[in-house]
């Protein structure tokens, strides 16, 4: 029979988008699995066949499981580690949509799925308590759904290691693979599955315990393929073993691979240098050899700067490689300047960001892998300057929906979510069992307010998401109260956490955070048609405004009456960032920030921002380089949880922590001065504060295309060379330092001379000026502005 094919891949994408837009077909496939309970860390193999007379124009599958799966079609790997960690809501599950068509053929097609069931709660995954798979495909006019005709087998080679196991925060287990018990290439066509059991059906979605299925809102992982290490060295150990150390090019998510020749029963331990990252065990693997030549890839990802294979010395190593996978967004943003230390810091922040992105934003990829929203706020702000504007923001959008959908009945919010929650049969579970439901009030304010939800909207223009989650924001704000003094009544929540470190002036910080949240809520209410909510927010804001300075300002610093510690740099900075500090107080606050260093890297982001907001870019750069000096000089490619590592750090001291990348945002948003002035970059500003820098080259991804920017500065000249994307316009700021500009020329024509506009015939319009910049309006296209601070041109 002649096998026909389709010419239109685009049609598949169109059909997929239409289905996801509201015409979702009812599920026909059933949840399936074994007819016996599966303990934690169970691996199941599924197989089915479908015969096709022709390759159809479309072949889309919907797939869900608890917890991860790998999919092969006709022996070809189609999905490497599918399925998101469970928890779009406290009860429900995500599903993947996969295009099968490129992998199908005319004739018999074999579908094979390997399922890894974690069977544990964690700080990033809410276990359903039951191993299961559902597969539902429309292949042309036919339907292929998982049911009792599918074959299933518990993979006999997979098992659990001896202690130590991963710490309680992680739902993943160590992976033990005994190749002596392997069943061969079971995913290939022609494999004999006669002795496999028939799968047991558990019902058609939505069905407990997996419940409603939500479509995966982020891309499948980017798979970089099997790659050679930068170098491989062997280290002889005193116990008669040898450790082969494969050096990675940078910290990343990897699955280790090996090819060896040896006798049966040899034990090979696999872990990274970061196995004890954050002072608690992460994940590792053990491979037990069969006799002869063999190859193996351990499928659970781990991270670090090198991978370590420890084995008996008589094992013949033929090849050691790794597969990098990670969040699938293009690295389109860039920043370089004439300060090598800042370039290193920006690059390390970029790498740190990517390694803390996968199923969710994570605080760290080792100890917890959890979506703490204090970290997520910093991460989403950085991501807009790093990743493409289509896929990059999707992880923030996913996290925003999750935070709102996990809101408790008492209207409080908490993170990390998704996370394990007590349920039937496990009501006595504790945090040490991997469950979490504790509110951190200051983190929640940061999340739903100006720097969290509103920043997401401002950079994306995604009105729908804000409309969907605004009720959760309003409900959360309803639990906050002002006291008789007109200021915030302290909310300890379930964990009264403000920042790591000491000397935290909580009353000042709490009022500033609530004020910022109310500021964001006002904008969200107006955007979503809830104008009636605005007066209530404004009353609270005005109360805080009226009482903040007279209660907390001491003439030379912000310091609350009840606080007995050293002057808090965080509190003084956040007063500026919130807009509560008066400009007359700026000189004193700047003095505080030159002498006080209590903030962790998490809150230091806001300290840097406050210095730029006060017009002190030289001080911002000096503090940035001082605070991050050890991390800049370190050979590690990522930034740390604290200012030191291990016991010298905070919370265990991981060497890859999401919240530490604040300098990336500060350099892009303030040193280069690039930020949207209308939602979704319909208009943006370039208001540079270069401070000691003389050169900045930067690319910023936007929904309309890239903003390419070159800034050059000397004592007498300054240039802005910018590409304004089509569909946008820009506000370009000419700095009024070191002195007032003498001339401003646009594309060679003098637009400004001796303090006055001179040429109105160019497409560049003079908008006015403030204390720092002369502002010009620029349309789409390449714009070159040349400024002279010297003698006027003749």
Q: What pLDDT sits at residue 284?
A: 98
DSSP string, 710-774: EEEE-SSEEEEEEEEPTT-EEEEEEE--SS--SEEEETTEEEEETTEE---SSS-EEEEE-SSEE
- Of 173, 84, 169, which Cα lies nearest the Cα of 123? 169
Cβ neighbors of 10 (< 8 A, separation 6 or more) are: none
Torsion sign, CA atoms 430, 431, 436, 437 = positive
Q: What pLDDT sits at residue 430?
A: 63
Are residues 232 and 247 in contact, defined by beta-carbon separation less than 8 angstroms? Answer: yes
Q: What pLDDT sits at residue 766?
A: 87
> What is the 3-class SS of 598-639, one letter each residue?
CCCHHHHHHHHHHHHHCCCHHHHHHHHHHHCHHHHHCCCCCC
CA distance linking residue 216 with residue 459, whole number of Å: 22
CA distance linking residue 459 with residue 380, whole number of Å: 10
CA distance linking residue 356 with residue 481, whole number of Å: 35
> What is the 3-class SS of 476-519, one letter each residue?
HHCCCCECCCCCECCCCCCCCCCCCCCCCCHHHHHHHHHHHHHH
> What is the 3-class SS of 43-88, one letter each residue?
EEEEEEEEEECCCCCCEEEEEEEECEEEEEECCEEEEEEECCCCCC
CA distance linking residue 693 with residue 691, whole number of Å: 6
- Of 415, 420, 419, 429, which Cα lies nearest the Cα of 494? 415
CA distance linking residue 403 with residue 413, whole number of Å: 7
Are residues 738 and 695 in contact, defined by beta-carbon separation less than 8 angstroms? Answer: no
CA distance linking residue 12 with residue 411, whole number of Å: 41
CA distance linking residue 434 with residue 6, whole number of Å: 48
Q: What pLDDT sits at residue 718?
A: 96
- For residue 176 the two structure tokens come to 């033990």
31: left (phi over 0), alpha (psi -120 to 50) or beta: beta
Residue 389 Cα to chain centre, angstroms: 14
HSE-CB at 341 with a 13 A cutoff on CA atoms is 16
Per-residue CA distances from 185 to 72, 193, 256, 296, 322 (Å):
11, 11, 19, 12, 21
Are residues 43 and 174 in contact, defined by beta-carbon separation less than 8 angstroms? Answer: no
pLDDT along the chain (794 residues), means of 10: 34 32 79 97 98 95 98 98 98 98 97 98 97 97 95 98 97 98 97 97 98 98 98 97 98 98 98 93 98 98 98 98 98 98 98 98 96 98 98 98 98 97 54 83 98 98 98 98 98 96 97 98 98 98 98 98 97 98 98 98 98 98 98 98 87 89 98 98 98 98 98 95 97 90 91 78 86 95 93 47
CA distance linking residue 83 with residue 67, whole number of Å: 7
CA distance linking residue 381 with residue 396, whole number of Å: 9
- For residue 34 the two structure tokens come to 């074994």
Maximum separation of any 2 CA atoms in the chain, in Å:
93
CA distance linking residue 403 with residue 465, whole number of Å: 12
Q: What pLDDT sits at residue 646?
A: 80
């Amino acid at each position: 029979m002649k096998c026909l094919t389709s010419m239109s891949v685009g049609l598949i994408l169109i059909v997929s988008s239409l289905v996801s837009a509201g015409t979702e077909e009812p599920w026909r496939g059933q949840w399936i699995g074994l007819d016996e309970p599966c303990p934690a860390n169970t691996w199941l193999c599924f197989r089915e066949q479908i015969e096709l007379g022709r390759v159809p124009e479309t072949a889309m599958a919907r797939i869900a499981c608890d917890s991860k799966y790998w999919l092969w079609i006709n022996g070809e790997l189609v999905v490497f580690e599918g399925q998101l960690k469970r928890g779009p809501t406290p009860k429900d599950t995500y599903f993947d949509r996969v295009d099968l068509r490129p992998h199908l053929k005319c004739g018999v097609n074999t579908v094979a799925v390997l399922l890894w069931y974690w069977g544990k709660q964690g700080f990033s995954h809410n276990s359903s308590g039951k191993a299961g798979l559902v597969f539902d495909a429309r292949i042309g006019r036919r339907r292929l759904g998982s049911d009792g005709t599918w074959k299933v087998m518990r993979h006999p080679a997979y098992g659990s290691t001896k202690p130590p196991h991963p710490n309680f925060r992680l739902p993943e287990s160590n992976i033990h693979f005994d190749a002596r018990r392997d069943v061969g290439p079971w995913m290939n066509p022609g494999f004999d599955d006669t002795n496999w059991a028939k799968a047991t059906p558990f019902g058609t979605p939505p069905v407990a315990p997996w419940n409603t299925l939500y479509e995966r809102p982020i891309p499948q992982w980017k798979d970089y393929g099997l790659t050679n290490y930068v170098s491989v060295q062997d280290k002889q150990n005193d116990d008669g073993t040898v450790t082969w150390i494969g050096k990675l090019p940078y910290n990343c998510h990897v699955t280790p691979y090996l090819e060896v020749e040896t006798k049966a029963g040899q034990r090979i331990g696999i872990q990274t240098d970061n196995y004890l990252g954050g002072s608690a065990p992460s994940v590792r693997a053990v491979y037990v050899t069969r006799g002869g030549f063999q190859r193996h890839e351990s499928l659970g990802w781990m991270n670090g700067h090198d991978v370590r294979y420890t084995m008996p010395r008589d094992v013949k190593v033929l090849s050691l490689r790794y597969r990098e996978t990670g969040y699938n967004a293009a690295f389109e943003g860039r920043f370089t300047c004439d300060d090598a230390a800042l370039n290193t810091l920006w690059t390390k922040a970029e790498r740190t960001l990517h390694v803390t992105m996968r199923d969710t934003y994570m605080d760290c990829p080792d100890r917890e892998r959890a979506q703490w929203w204090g970290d997520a706020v910093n991460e989403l702000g950085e991501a807009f300057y790093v990743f493409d504007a289509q896929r990059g923001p999707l992880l923030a959008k996913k996290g925003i929906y999750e935070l709102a959908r996990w809101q408790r009945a008492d209207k409080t919010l908490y993170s990390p979510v998704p996370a394990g929650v007590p349920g039937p049969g496990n009501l006595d579970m504790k945090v040490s069992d991997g469950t979490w439901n504790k509110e951190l009030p200051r983190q929640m304010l940061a999340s739903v307010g100006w720097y969290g939800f509103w920043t997401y909207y401002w950079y994306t223009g995604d009105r729908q998401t804000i409309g969907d989650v605004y009720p959760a924001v309003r409900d959360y704000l309803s639990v906050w109260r002002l006291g008789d003094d007109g200021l915030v009544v302290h909310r300890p929540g379930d964990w009264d956490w403000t920042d790591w470190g000491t000397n935290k002036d909580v009353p000042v910080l709490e009022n500033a955070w609530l004020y910022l949240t109310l500021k964001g809520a006002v904008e969200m209410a107006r955007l979503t048609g809830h104008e009636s909510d605005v007066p209530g927010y404004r009353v609270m804001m005005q109360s805080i405004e009226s009482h903040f300075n007279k209660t907390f300002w001491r003439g030379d610093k912000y310091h609350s009456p009840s606080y007995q510690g050293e002057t808090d740099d965080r509190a003084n900075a956040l007063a500026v960032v919130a807009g509560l500090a008066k400009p007359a107080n700026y000189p004193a606050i700047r003095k505080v920030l030159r002498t006080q260093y209590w903030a962790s890297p998490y809150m230091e982001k806001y300290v840097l921002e406050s210095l730029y907001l006060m017009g002190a870019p030289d001080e911002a750069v000096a503090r940035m380089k001082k605070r991050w000096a050890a991390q800049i000089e370190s050979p590690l490619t990522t930034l740390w949880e604290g200012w030191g590592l291990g016991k010298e750090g905070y919370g265990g001291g991981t060497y890859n922590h999401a919240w530490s990348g604040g300098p990336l945002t500060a350099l892009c948003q303030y040193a280069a001065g690039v930020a949207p002035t209308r939602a979704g970059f319909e208009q943006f500003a370039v208001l540079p504060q270069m401070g000691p820098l003389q050169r900045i080259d930067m690319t910023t991804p936007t929904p309309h295309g890239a903003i390419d920017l070159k800034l050059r500065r000397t004592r007498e000249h300054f240039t802005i060379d910018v590409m304004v994307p089509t569909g946008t316009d820009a506000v370009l700021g000419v700095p009024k330092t070191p002195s007032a500009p003498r001339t401003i020329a646009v594309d060679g024509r003098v637009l400004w001379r001796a303090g006055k506009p001179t040429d109105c015939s160019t497409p560049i319009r003079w908008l006015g000026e403030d204390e720092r910049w002369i502002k010009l309006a620029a349309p789409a296209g390449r714009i070159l502005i040349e400024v002279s601070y010297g003698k006027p041109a003749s």
